Every structure is written in structure tokens, then in C-alpha cells.
């Protein structure tokens, strides 16, 4: 059996306080990360060119698909 000395009440309080401070800092850091990850406006602003190209391609594909469907119905 290992014999570890019992901690004093002051040591326990100090440990609890240190854990409380560390937890508070972790929560602040987590809030910042969540805010950054959920900032869709910021993501769009940073990747504006890619978003515009993607929108143009999607519009072209959808427009072409709709035109093809309309053409198929006109042939009947």
C-alpha cells in the first residue's frame, strides 16, 4: 500500500481555486473558437472569390439542367 500524506484543507482549497481559474480560461477560449467557427459571414468574406465561382457554376448547371428538361418536354 502506498502511503500518501493527506492534503490539508488549505491545499484542497488552493487546488479547487486553481481548477476553477483553469476552467474559466478554458470556457473563454472555447467561446472564442465557437464564435469563429460559426461566423459564416466571415467565412464568406474570406473566401469571396470561391463563393462567387461556386454560385456561378451552380447557376450554370441548374440553368442548363432546367433548359434540358424543358427541351425534353417540348420534343414530345
44 touches 51 (CB < 8 A): yes
Provide the whole-model pTM: 0.50
The grid coordinates of residue 76 equal 414530345
Task: Give start and end residues of each alpha helix (H) in the chain.
Answer: 9-37, 40-46, 48-75
What is the separation of C-alpha 13 from the centre of its chain, rounded to a whole number of angstroms?
Answer: 36
pLDDT, position 46: 93
- pLDDT tens string for the chain (76 positions)? 556 679 999 999 999 999 999 999 999 999 999 999 999 899 999 999 999 999 999 998 888 877 777 776 776 5
Amino acid at each position: 500500500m502506498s502511503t500518501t500524506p493527506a492534503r490539508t484543507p488549505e491545499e484542497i482549497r488552493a487546488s479547487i481555486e486553481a481548477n476553477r481559474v483553469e476552467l474559466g480560461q478554458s470556457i473563454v477560449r472555447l467561446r472564442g473558437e465557437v464564435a469563429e467557427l460559426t461566423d459564416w459571414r466571415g467565412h464568406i468574406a474570406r473566401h469571396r472569390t470561391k463563393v462567387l465561382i461556386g454560385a456561378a457554376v451552380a447557376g450554370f448547371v441548374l440553368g442548363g439542367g432546367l433548359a434540358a428538361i424543358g427541351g425534353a418536354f417540348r420534343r414530345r
